[in-house]
């Protein structure tokens, strides 16, 4: 990151390669729109270069870049609120086909129910849950990204997990 801070654009390439899948997946989950996620991913690294002077050398890069990505996702939500709202059903991502139609339908329904349960979490719990479970960030990293104490991260994870367990318990009863 020292080379990027020094203004060497070529030094961004290894960072882009390293975080490409993680950041794209994070933006896609947050926005539930793969095309917008691709735009956000590109914008994230443009901002990394533009804001390189704000990076503290020696500080962990991962929480800093996730914070930039999260802020861009928030900006996108604000733009969507000002413009026409898009139905979530129109923004479903394409899934890999399963072994057969029945299995594919079952998996699709299960995936949608889990996604709906996660989407139904309060926003603060949802952000923490996605960063921990889908993106693999540690509690201290999540705390840094969201600019909240680690204890708050733990509390939100506890409540999110409890709420999801309760909601998905009903799903287990149906299966």
- Distance between CA atoms of residues 142 and 92, nearest Å: 26
Q: Are 150 and 140 in contact (CB under 8 A)?
A: yes
So where are the chain's domains? 1-82, 99-175
Q: Please tell me the distance from the alpha carbon of residue 25 to that of residue 38, in angstroms, as a whole number.
A: 9
Tokens of 18: 């390293």
Alpha-carbon separation of residue 4 from 22, 42, 55, 56, 66 (angstroms): 20, 16, 10, 12, 17
**Model confidence pTM above 0.85:** no
The mean pLDDT value for 44-61 works out to 89
Rounded alpha-carbon distances, angstroms, from residue 41 to 47, 53, 80:
10, 20, 17
For residue 149 the two structure tokens come to 């104490």
What does the alpha-carbon distance between residue 175 and residue 173 come to, in Å, rounded to a whole number? 6
6 contact partners, CB below 8 Å, separation of at least 6: none
Classify 1-82 by CATH class.
mainly alpha
pLDDT in tens, 81-125: 776 444 444 444 444 444 567 777 767 777 777 788 888 899 999
Angle of helix 150-174 relative to helix 139-146, nearest 10 degrees, comes to 110
pLDDT at 173: 63
Q: For 74-90, how does the pLDDT look when each residue is reduced to its tens digit (9 = 90+)?
A: 898 888 877 644 444 44
Class of domain 99-175 as given by CATH: mainly alpha
């Amino acid at each position: 990151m020292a080379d990027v801070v020094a203004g060497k654009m070529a030094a961004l390439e290894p960072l882009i390669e390293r975080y490409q899948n993680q950041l794209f997946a994070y933006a896609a989950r947050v926005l539930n729109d793969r095309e917008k996620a691709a735009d956000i991913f590109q914008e994230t690294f443009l901002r990394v270069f533009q804001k390189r002077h704000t990076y503290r050398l020696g500080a962990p890069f991962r929480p800093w870049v996730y914070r930039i990505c999260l802020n861009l996702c928030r900006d996108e939500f604000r733009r969507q609120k000002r413009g026409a709202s898009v139905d979530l059903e129109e923004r479903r991502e394409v899934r890999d086909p399963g072994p057969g139609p029945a299995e594919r339908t079952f998996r699709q329904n299960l995936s949608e129910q889990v996604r709906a349960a996660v989407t139904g979490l309060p926003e603060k719990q949802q952000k923490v849950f996605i960063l921990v479970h889908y993106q693999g960030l540690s509690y201290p990293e999540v705390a840094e990204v969201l600019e909240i104490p680690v204890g708050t991260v733990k509390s939100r994870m506890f409540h999110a997990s409890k709420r999801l367990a309760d909601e998905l318990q009903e799903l287990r009863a149906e299966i």
